Structure 1
Amino acid sequence: MTAHAMAARLRALLGSVSVLALSAAGLTVATTAGAPASYASDNGQSIRPAMGWSSWSFVRRTPTEAAIKAQADAMVSSGLNTHGFVYVNLDDFWQKCDSNGFAVDSYGRWTVDTTRFPDGIKALADYIHAKGLKFGFYVTPGIAKNAVLKNTPIEGTSYHAQDIADTSKTEKNYNCKNMYYIDYSKPGSQDFVNSWARQFASWGVDYLKIDGVGSADIPDVQAWDAALRATGRPITFALSNNLPIAEATTWKKLANSWRTQGDVECYCGPGPNGSGYPLTDWSHVSSRFATAASWQPYAGPGGWNDLDSLEIGNGDQVGLTADQRRSAFTLWAMAGSPLLLGTDLTALDSTDKTMLTNDRLIGVDQDGTAAARVVSSGVNQVWRKKEADGSYVVALFNTGTSGSSTASVDWTQVGFSGSAQVTDLWSGSDKGTIANSYSATLRPGETRLIRATPTSATTTRYEAENAAISAGGTVDTNHQNYSGTGFVNTENTTGAYVEWTVTSGAARTATLAIRYANGTTTDRPADVSVNGTTVSAGRSFPGTGSWDTWADNRLTVSLPAGTSTVRVAATTANGDANLDYLDVS
């Protein structure tokens, strides 16, 4: 997709609210994904991470029509909607159950618990839509036992539930249980999912979470992806929870977000099933630093790593200190995670409301890029990402629970050298020009989030793991001395490529340094092109002595002002050498 087309789709799908947040934050919308673009879902949804509220953390097992309406009312009256929070998502426990599991309608689909939702789901969605908000809903894979027992027909077909159910195994379900697997080799199986998706679309669903998903449920995810597209209604498709990273490229191809870990809730409250305050604790939040780092290469426009609900809104009683809540928001924003609040919006704490309406933080989340971790040393962590305008957003954390600690980072680790104009994004204050490195002494659980804008001619680094990679290429870590979070090992085939998107403030002559390793004695030549024009044909990438030894392959090119692509494409069946990064000086 061209930058022009992406920008047009962004304007159509993102709407003015989040674009305003980006503008207020001083951030430029990026037009390239932080993961292989060929893997991204093309359903047109979630060009930027979803923002809103979900019922599970606070309302949990007792959702009602009145309770969900109250949260929608509060989202508007608090002004959160004007900052981009627009989804109101009803999670589990909207369904009716009997002794055999879910009660079903005449076509084998779950029925609504009308004691909790007397006006039905469509009326609730209509109420939410009338406020200018969007409605999210919930389902799990499979077909209900009651549908099989009753052998209900599949809408619009001659098939029945017993024709498609695999009664030898049951799906994961957290409410009524008793969900059989669907055998997708059987005719009628896709029709059943299509029927359910049509019903949800007719009710006005804008966001669908499918829960309990694992590797064995890939056929269900494929079926739901196809079914949602077929409805013709724009529906964001979210997967949950704790999905295996081994299938990351599959989730990215089929869905718009995927939970990278188990629940953020601690289930340590005084109510039934651990409900009530606290909603979470620092260990459940801080454990997400590692998973966010591992999953970073897979996030980008159209598909996002979901760190779960953001527990900010009700002050310290959620189970986190103010410092820890700011750190959670910073991590979610740097990771490009959906921002789905789990708190009670009818009782917003003034401190937390100030956090949630900080458009500079929202802009970091909505900039279209997931940050990489560049420092992880004890309790200190540093994360970075590059904006489309050439500036860098850098987050420093003290993840400990006692004692202050000083976190530091060199500008070369961030991706440039020299000096930078620094702005504190939490406070908005100007920190002046800072040379070479940045450090901050942080309280336990505290964060510092800055924007660093290079002030002079510099070398800008573009990591290969954040570039577009041809099909079959992988981001690996099995050799030493690489930069960033990994290096790219392309498929051994002619034409295999890595393509970086680079920016230039003006038309100029630039030096490109392509860092590579070739542990063989056979040259791995490649065509180097800029914006589709070959500037060095069959360029030699000779052996470096080992796969742990890296070398710079330098050439001088002309770059126009604005955004350009630099591609290194193999010219032999051996593929490219391993590629670590591209430095543009």
Structure 2
Amino acid sequence: MLAAVALVATALAVPAAASDNGLSIRPAMGWSSWSFVRRWPDENKIKAQADALVSSGLAAKGFVYVNLDDFYQKCDSNGFVVDSYGRWAVDTAKFPSGIKALADYVHAKGLKFGFYVTPGIAKNAVTANKPIEGTSYHAQDIADTTQTHKNYNCKNMYRLKYSHPGAQAFINSWANQMASWGVDYLKIDGADATTIADVEAWDKALRQTGRPINFALSNNLPIAQADTWKRLANSWRTQGDVECYCGSGPNGSGYPLTDWSHVVSRFNSAASWQPYAGPGGWNDYDSLQIGNGDQVGLTADQRRSHMTHWAMAASPLLLGTDLTALTSVDLAMLKNDRLIAVNQDGVAAQRIVNSGVNQVWRKREPGGDYIVALYNTGTSGNSTVSVTWSQVGFTGPAAVTNLWSGASEGTVSSSYSATLRPGETRLIRVRPAGQRYEAENAAISQGAAESNHSGFSGTGFVNGDNVAGSYVEFTVNAAAAGTATLTLRYANGTSINRPMTIDVDGTTITRDFPGTGNWDTWADSAFTVSLNAGANTVRATATTANGGPNLDYLDVS
């Protein structure tokens, strides 16, 4: 008998449309100034971090963003000092060469430069009634002086009246200035449910610059507006800061940068936000505090769990540590190609076990492998964490690889367990036994192999013609006669069901293939059949004038 596969039964929810600015198809990777540099950035510090990103080899692994966060601005008693058009003025004592020169330095190293802003218009711009660049409008035309925005530095940011065309023109002028400086990534902080108009304005402004600028929102965005954040931005912070603000320096700066409770709090957040992550838009769980050893406030086990969870959740990997003082243990963590691949596979994991200190998360990658993470989130005592393959999404034996060590753990029959120290994780790649047949390698009638949508396995997928009778035919080999589970992976970017008949050596069944939300979102349709020993013909044929769905592959278990 061939082992049968039982897939996890989940309702197929139509995902929200992602930002179509073409950026962040995979989560961003790089470094941000806030955690370590905090309130005292200057151009020499930022250059030193950029240098270290390259010399450490992290840039070669994909960590390419160098993001300047808050406190680069100049303030007086009324808030932000502004330029001639009412935009924040850069503190020339900290950045005597200017932001463009700093961005040029970063770009010369093959890296990308990130910048920071919050919504609104500065009080000083309104008091001086600064002109809006390229228009006849002035600051007092567009400011609502009865309301202020959240701001963490100089405060005194008035809200904008977006009913006035000068408001969008003001944001456009600011975005144009940033584009002219060479900004590649923009974090807009202080965003919440009351700032949707501001986020929309900045999205429009960044697009009209003509420069590709990765658009990130911060922080603690409400999940009630998740569809809005996904439509407008490339990432969004789901919680407050991961920093503990418990260091010995001013305002809690310095080491430790964080603690385990701040990291663990992201587990519940990631479980709630998981459905909203995908190519073009990612749930951001804040900075990755790995690089400086135990002094960041986490043990080595906790740091590995920290990176494992960010990788499983497909969060942006933006380091917050001092890259000029990397430890060998932490550098090895950050340069682990297997962990980076888990983060960059474009899939956010689901939590399937949540029992006391034990948690298990799983995701299925486009190639059909499952990635499973087991955690002991406690702070004392070992714990044995277990999961069955049916909980993961299949039955039957599977080959297991430890992704932190790279070592094979052999074939595991039906379940997996690990006894973990407090704060420890076990991350494994699980490859179910079976065979995969790529649709693009099958016989195709009235259709073609294409690769113009993301997320497919192999070299492409089959796009059948929109006619009844178009088909894809697989030749499936079985070592012995018996029952098998066949799983067709498909995408249907329409709202109309596209049924097909499945013919297996003369036996015919009919399957529905409902819409998956878009052509980049793939789903599985599984069915049980009898196979003969040797070669078997499996043909999937469209039954309506709409044709069938796009077909990626056929799995046989």
State the TM-score bracket (shorter-chain normalisation). Answer: 0.7 to 0.9
Instruction: Identify the match of residue 376 of structure 1 among 332, 339, 354.
Output: 354
Q: How does 1:292-303 map to 2 (within 5 A)?
A: 292-303=270-281
Match of 2:433 among 437, 447, 455: 455
Tell me the distance in 2 between the aligned counterparts of 1:279 and 1:160.
Answer: 42
Equivalent-residue separation in structure 2 for 1:526 and 1:361 (angstroms): 38
Q: 2:143 aligns with which of 165, 168, 173?
A: 165
> Which deviations, in whole Å up to 9, do the C-alpha atoms of 1:109-164 show, x marking residues without a partner?
00000000000000000000001100000000000001100111111111111111
- For 2:150 and 2:513, the matched residues in 1 are separated by 53
Distance 1:508 1:437, change over 3 A: farther
Note the residue ranges of structure 2 that are not aligned, 5 or more in a row. Answer: 1-11, 437-453, 460-472, 477-484, 490-494, 502-508, 515-524, 530-537, 542-546
Once the two structures are superposed, residues 63-96 of structure 1 have per-residue CA deviations (whole angstroms, 9 ceiling, x without a partner) of: 0111000100111111110111000000000000
2:119 maps to which residue? 141
Q: 1:90-109 residue pairs with structure 2 within 5 A? A: 90-109=68-87
> What is residue 522 of structure 2 aligned with on the other side?
none
Alpha-carbon deviation of 1:507? Answer: 2.9
Do the aligned residues in 2 keep the contact of 1:394 with 1:450 (CA within 8 Å)? yes
* Counterpart position of 2:167: 189
Q: Report what 1:58 is aligned to.
A: 36
State the distance in 1 between where 2:540 and 2:403 align: 31
Structure 2 vs 1, CA of residues 353 and 530 (structure 1 numbering), >3 Å: closer, same or farther?
farther
Q: Work out the CA distance in 2 between the residues paired with 1:456 and 1:512.
A: 11
- Does the aligned pair in 2 maintain the 1:51–1:338 contact within 8 Å? yes
Alpha carbons of structure 1 residues 446 and 379: separation in structure 2 relative to 1, 3 Å = same
Is 2:391 the partner of 1:413?
Answer: yes
Residue 544 (structure 2) aligns with:
none
Q: 1:554: how far off? A: 6.4
Identity %: 71
Q: Partner residue of 2:104?
A: 126
Query: Which of 416, 422, 434 is 1:438 aligned to?
Result: 416
Give the residue type in structure 2 aligned to 1:300. G
2:498–2:548 contact (8 Å) kept in structure 1: no
Specify the alignment match of 2:519 in structure 1.
none
Pairwise CA distance, 1:504: 9.5
Q: 1:502 to 1:48 in 2, by over 3 A?
A: closer
User: What secondary structure, in the 3-state scheme, does the structure 2 residue paired with 1:188 have?
Assistant: helix
2:492 maps to which residue? Answer: none
Separation in structure 2 between the aligned mates of residue 559 and residue 328 of structure 1, nearest angstrom: 44
Q: Distance in 1 between matches of 2:89 and 2:350?
A: 44
Contact 2:16/2:230 (CA < 8 Å) preserved in 1? no
Picking from 140, 152, 157, the partner of 1:179 is: 157
The question of whether the paired residues in 2 share the 8 Å contact of 1:418 and 1:456 is answered with: no
Cα pair 2:235 2:284 within 8 Å, conserved:
yes
Cα distance in 2 between the residues matched to 1:501 and 1:364: 14
Instruction: Give the counterpart letter for 1:431 in structure 2.
Output: E
**1:99: how far off?**
0.9
Amino acid at match of 2:26: R
Distance change in 2, residues 1:527/1:234 (3 Å): closer
- Structure-1 separation of matches of 2:317 and 2:309: 11
1:527–1:536 contact (8 Å) kept in structure 2 = no
For the structure 1 residues 508 and 219, does the alpha-carbon distance in structure 2 shift closer, same or farther, using more than 3 Å as the test?
farther
Equivalent residues of 2:366, 2:457 under 8 A apart:
yes
- Check 1:352–1:555 CA distance in 2 against 1; reply closer, same or farther (3 A cut): closer
1:507 aligns with 2:474: yes
Q: 1:521 — aligned with what?
A: none
Check conservation: 1:53, 1:342, Cα contact below 8 A: yes
Q: Distance in 2 between matches of 1:538 and 1:530?
A: 7
| Larger displacement relative to structure 2 (259-268 or 183-192) | 183-192
Q: Which residue of 1 aligns with 2:332?
A: 354
Verify the 8 A CA contact 1:109 1:144 in the aligned structure 2.
yes
What is the rounded CA distance, in whole Å, between the counterparts of 2:87 and 2:305 in structure 1?
A: 41
Paired residue total: 472
CA contact (8 A) 2:141 2:166 kept: yes
Q: Cα gap change, 1:337/1:240 in structure 2, threshold over 3 Å: closer, same or farther? A: same
In structure 2, the partner of 1:527 is: 497
CA shift, 1:508, in A, is 6.1
* Contact 1:311 1:343 (C-alpha < 8 Å) held by counterparts: yes
Q: How does 1:156-555 map to 2 (within 5 A)?
A: 156-456=134-434, 507=474, 527-529=497-499
* Matched AA of 2:499: S
The separation in 1 between residues aligned to 2:458 and 2:74, in whole angstroms, is 58
State the 1:456 CA deviation. Answer: 2.9
**Native 8 Å contact 1:53 1:87 kept in 2:** yes
Q: Secondary structure at the match of 1:180?
A: strand
Q: Give the secondary structure class of the aligned counterpart of 1:403.
A: coil
Shift of 1:502: 8.4
Task: Give CA deviations for 1:506-561 in whole Å, capped at 9, x if unaligned.
Answer: 936865799xxxxxxxxxx9834369xxx959999xxxxxxxxxxx996988459x
Counterpart secondary structure, 1:364: helix
8 Å CA contact 2:230, 2:281 repeated in 1: yes
SS across alignment from 1:109: coil
Letter in 1 for 2:331: K
User: Alpha carbons of 1:193 and 1:457: their partners in 2 closer, same or farther (altered >3 Å)?
Assistant: same
CA distance in 1, matches of 2:486, 2:338: 33
CA distance in 1, matches of 2:68, 2:92: 15
Q: 1:41 to 1:529 in 2, by over 3 A?
A: farther
- CA distance, structure 1, for counterparts of residue 331 and residue 30 of structure 2: 14
What one-letter code is carried by the residue in structure 1 that aligns with 2:283? N
State the Cα RMSD in Å: 3.0
Structure 1: stretches of 5+ with no match in the other structure = 1-33, 459-499, 515-524, 541-551, 568-582
Contact kept, 8 Å, 2:70 with 2:153, in 1: the verdict is: yes
User: What one-letter code is carried by the residue in structure 1 that aligns with 2:474?
Assistant: A
Q: 1:359 & 1:530 partners in 2: Cα distance?
A: 40
Question: TM-score, normalising length from structure 2?
Answer: 0.80
Superposed displacement of residue 35, structure 1: 8.0
* C-alpha displacement of 1:341: 0.3
Q: 1:390 to 1:101 in 2, by over 3 A?
A: same
What SS does the corresponding residue of 1:431 show, helix, strand or coil?
strand
> Equivalents in 2 of 1:219, 1:143: separation in Å?
14
Q: Once the 2 structures are TM-superposed, how far is the Cα of residue 186 of structure 1 from its aligned partner?
A: 1.1
CA distance in 1, matches of 2:180, 2:51: 23
Give the Cα–Cα distance (whole angstroms) in 1 for the partners of residues 140 and 556 of structure 2.
61
Q: Deviation at 1:455?
A: 1.4
